[in-house]
Amino acid sequence: MKNPLIAERLKFYRKKNNLSIPQVSETLSEIQPVAVKTIYGWESGHTQPDADTLMRLCCIYHIDDILEIFGYKPPKKTVFNLTTQEKDLIIAYRNHPDMQKAVRRLLEFEKES
């Protein structure tokens, strides 16, 4: 049974790590050849990587809590019940300190000076 979160999360974390699909293919191919079109298939949800390859991708993408990221266990308790998109926005905000002031202005948390 396919897990739809795998495709979504793989694409998100590849982009978060500023990696292109050819770069990921090259890195994976150091151990076993992986075609670029195979990675496109994983990210589109048409196919899924085997368990060993998924673990290697998690290492490449710096994914620590694999079970939570791919929805196999509930997320850690938080004060708010955030959607996946909201969590992604917070992570992106934290990873781009150069854009935080503009985001605060856009959301009217901060007035222009």
CA-to-CA dists, residue 64 to 9, 32, 58, 92, 106, angstroms: 13, 23, 7, 17, 32
Q: What is the reported pLDDT for 41?
A: 96
Residues 82, 61, single domain; the answer is no
6: left (phi over 0), alpha (psi -120 to 50) or beta: alpha
- The domain spanning residue 50 has which CATH number? 1.10.260
Is residue 58 within 8 A of residue 66, CB to CB? The reply is yes
**What integer is the mean pLDDT of 22-37?**
95
Q: Residue 65's domain spans which residues?
A: 1-73
pLDDT at 79: 64
Distant-in-sequence, close-in-space partners of 82: CB < 8 Å, separation ≥ 6: 90
Would the pTM count as exceeding 0.85? no
- With vertex at residue 41, the alpha carbon angle to CA 39 and CA 47, rounded to the nearest 5 degrees, is 115
Per-residue pLDDT, 15: 95
Clarify whether residues 95 and 113 are in a common domain: yes
Instruction: Provide the pLDDT for residue 49.
Output: 94
**Which pLDDT score is estimated for 112?**
63
pLDDT of residue 82: 77
**Per-residue pLDDT, 113:** 58
Residue 8 per-residue DSSP state? H
Do 7 and 60 fall within a single domain? yes
Same domain assignment for residues 43 and 21: yes
| pLDDT tier, 62 (very low <50, low <70, confident <90, very high otherwise) | very high
| pLDDT value of residue 65 | 85
| CA-to-CA separations, 58 to 6, 67, 83, 87, in angstroms, rounded | 11, 11, 21, 18
Q: In degrees rounded to 5, what are phi and psi of residue 21?
A: -60, -45
pLDDT digits (tens, 9 = 90+) for 82-108: 788 988 999 999 999 899 888 888 887
* Number of domains observed in the structure of the chain: 2
Instruction: Write down the pLDDT at residue 110.
Output: 65
